[in-house]
Structure 1
Amino acid sequence: MMQDVHNLLGVTEETSGNEFLSVGRDQLREYGCDIHNDLLVSCDSTEDGSIRLCGNNADYRTEYVVLATGFNDVRPEPPLPRTGRGLHYCLHCDAYMFVNEPVYVMGYGESAAHVAAIMLNFTDDVDILTRNDSPEWSDETATMLSNHPIDIIHEDITGVQNDKDGWLAALEFEDGMVREYKGGFAMYGAEYNNGLARNLGCDINDDGTVVVDDHGQTTVDRVYAVGDLTPGHNQLPIALGEGAKAGISLHFALREFPRDLDVIEEQGPVRSDEVPGIPDELLEQEVDFHTYD
């Protein structure tokens, strides 16, 4: 869960993740959406063509499904600073917080090396902390690092020092060294929550993301995936945009009209008592919601 919402136009910086989701749920209910507080553990396609979702509290059936299960950042072993107050994962979200501040990048792979170099755009004090792991970056990356003012600290962390507000102040190392930091980034990769997509037979990329087209359609008909579960930048506004594109695609798929010509040839013209195509229970709610005094 996000502690605070950043980089989302129209949403103030002090808005918490819970507040943001609460407003979203209220808006969905106003449009007739049912919200179930349940954990889905599996799903499959049934013989009648529907999709069955199995949760801890109930089972659900649907014609279409949009998967937005995201990923989990791989956390390093403790001791660690507090998440959001010294331990961060998203460079695009939080790099600006460390302008002219001492920063660490925790990790030993290509991503750690390149994030450390990128942070030099914001500060002149950047360390890579490998924590006794042998670097796995390429020779080319090693040359890049050696030509930038980045210190590589190999000793493991043994302690954390915080300031009076709970923000990271310094890290203690096993050789007795204490180095001051305002914060930093853990770069150990991500674990994608793609279990439901695998259950349904969706193709998965080598990095664990779900294969989708430009509108979020997976390789399985009527199954969509959006947000951090899919390739690309892991940003809230991007995830919202992907959700909107998938929603538009679903609107086209679910619309009753215009009716296909082959159906008209078989069933005849659309009768006046068949329109509007919106279900009665939603029609009443939408008329009430969009009635202007």
Structure 2
Amino acid sequence: MTRPPPPGASDNPPPDTVDALIVGGGPAGLSAATWLGRYRRSTLLVDAGGQRNLSAERIHGILGTGPATPDEFYADAHDGLRRYPTVRRLDGLVSELTRESDDRFVARIAPATTSDDGDGAPMSVTATRVILATGVRDRLPELDGIDRHYGVDVHHCPACDGLTAADQRVIVLGAGAHVPAYASELLDWASEVVIITESDSDPAFDDDQRAACAVHDIQVVDGVARELVGEPGALQGVRLADGTMITGSKVFFSYAHHPTNDLAKALGCRIDDEGGLSVNALQLTSVAGVYAAGDIVTGLQLVPIAVGTGAAAGVACATSLRGHSTAADVPDAAPPTRTFTRPDS
């Protein structure tokens, strides 16, 4: 998958002090940066890459547009950021993030590229606010052919790609108590669903779960998947370790996805039982000055929702700066919002 060209508001080096630091360049981070730009707040977005939808053929369900390739989606978002001169984007990794006070965070950043003139050397950036949009990382099946098929006819999200499986026979890979329910979701689209349990010795599901699958005509096959058979876009099925061929034209998997929450933990943000960040209605975490958006916040993981939570975080972050001194290259901060009370009658 070709990465989109790195955008930037200018060719100047990133500032060493900003109003807002955004960690993560997926839909949530880009949306937050867009709204901080609209509020004319000095913003640095650091993008480590590896967004989970880069392998998808198309990104679906975005209001007002047809399905877009990841390259098209990100190129359009990056182009939009260029309209805001107070926003900079940097390819790199935030390796360390510390909180020195409610209004002062220091990030250690390793840019993605280095050169002989010193560009790309590790740098420190001080920010008044932080937005974490670091997302999650999916565990992929250990299957021959996964690199060629993932995003074409092998998927992890029924809501995102279930419609592409309409009226087809779908194979579900995964073990665990949640898998039968996950497989039943696909019946919204698929004509048939079969589960491969990824186990040929220990029972993956109990009798009640198998009975529930039977009620919905979901076949359960005990075995370990080894190989995707067929060309990308023309999948024939999955071959098991014992040589058995399970036919199907689509594969969905549900193993584990791991929230990228190391920076949040280091800051002391409250983490829920699923590893996501706990936030309030303004996307504010339990740590003053730190917001979170996108898949790192537990909930439905869809691009439109990531865009929405990113917008909420960006606006809340920007308006929280009213009455505060801001970075030198932006307009003076507005006065704090006044609270009016009803006069006694």
TM-score category by the smaller chain?
Answer: 0.7 to 0.9
Moved more, 185-194 or 142-151: 142-151
Q: What percent identity do the matched residue pairs reach?
A: 27
Map residues 17-166 of structure 1 onto 2, 5 A cutoff.
17-32=70-85, 33-46=87-100, 49-56=103-110, 57-81=122-146, 82-132=149-199, 134-137=202-205, 140-163=208-231, 166=233
| Matched-pair contact (CA < 8 Å) for 1:29–1:35 | no
Instruction: Report if aligned partners of 2:171, 2:248 keep a CA contact under 8 Å in 1.
Output: yes
Decide whether the 8 Å contact of 1:131 with 1:155 is kept in 2. Answer: yes
Aligned to 2:289, which of 222, 226, 230?
222
| Greater fraction of residues in helix | 1
Partner of 2:29: none
Q: What TM-score results when the alignment is normalised by the length of structure 2?
A: 0.70
Shift of 1:152: 1.0
Contact 1:132 1:154 in 2 (8 A): yes
Residues 53-91 of structure 1: per-residue CA shift (max 9 Å, x gap): 111132211010000000011112223541012210111
SS at match of 2:89: coil
Quick check: 27-36 or 92-101, which moved more?
A: 27-36
Question: What's the offset of the Cα at 1:167?
Answer: 3.6
1:171 aligns to what SS in structure 2?
Answer: strand
The 5 Å alignment of 1:132-281 reads: 132=199, 134-137=202-205, 140-163=208-231, 166-256=233-323, 281=329
Question: Partner letter of residue 214 of structure 1?
Answer: A
Q: 1:77 to 1:279 in 2, by over 3 A?
A: closer
Q: Deviations over 1:164-207 (max 9, x none)?
A: x5442222223332222111211012100001101111011111
Amino acid at match of 2:97: C
Q: Alpha carbons of 1:278 and 1:46: their partners in 2 closer, same or farther (altered >3 Å)?
A: closer
Following the alignment from structure 1 to structure 2, what is the Cα–Cα distance between the partners of residues 251 and 49? Answer: 13
Query: What secondary structure is seen at the aligned counterpart in 2 of 1:61?
Result: strand
Q: Secondary structure at the match of 1:179?
A: strand
Q: Please identify the structure whose Cα radius of gyration is greater.
A: 1
Give the Cα separation in 2 of the matches to 1:20 and 1:74: 24
What number of residue pairs does the alignment pair up?
A: 262
Does the 8 Å CA contact 1:172/1:179 hold for their aligned counterparts?
A: yes
Listed one character per residue, the Cα deviations across residues 18-54 of structure 1 (whole Å, up to 9, x for unaligned) are 3222222222221121111111111111268410111
What letter is aligned with 2:157? Answer: C
Letter in 1 for 2:293: V
1:16 aligns with 2:69: yes
Quick check: 2:213–2:220 contact (8 Å CA) kept in 1?
Answer: no
| Cα distance in 1, alignment partners of residues 318 and 212 from structure 2 | 49
List runs of 5+ in structure 1 lacking aligned partners. Answer: 258-276, 284-293
Give the partner amino acid of 1:143. A
2:173·2:254 contact (CA, 8 Å) conserved in 1?
A: yes
- More displaced stretch, 72-81 vs 93-102: 72-81
**Letter matched to residue 166 of structure 2:** V
Q: Partner of 1:267 in structure 2?
A: none
Moved more, 175-184 or 54-63: 175-184
Q: Which ranges of structure 2 fall in alignment gaps of 5 or more residues?
A: 1-50, 111-121, 332-345
Return closer, same or farther for 1:78/1:99 CA change in 2, 3 Å cut-off. Answer: same
Pick the structure with more strand per residue: 2
CA distance in 2, matches of 1:86, 1:175: 23
Q: Distance in 2 between matches of 1:219 and 1:92?
A: 30
1:279/1:225 Cα in 2 relative to 1: closer, same or farther (>3 Å)? closer
Q: Following superposition, which runs of at least 4 residues in structure 1 exceed 6 angstroms of deviation?
A: 277-280
| CA distance 1:242–1:47, change in 2 (3 Å) | closer
Residue deviations 1:118-156, cap 9 Å, x none? 222322321101122645556543331232211111122
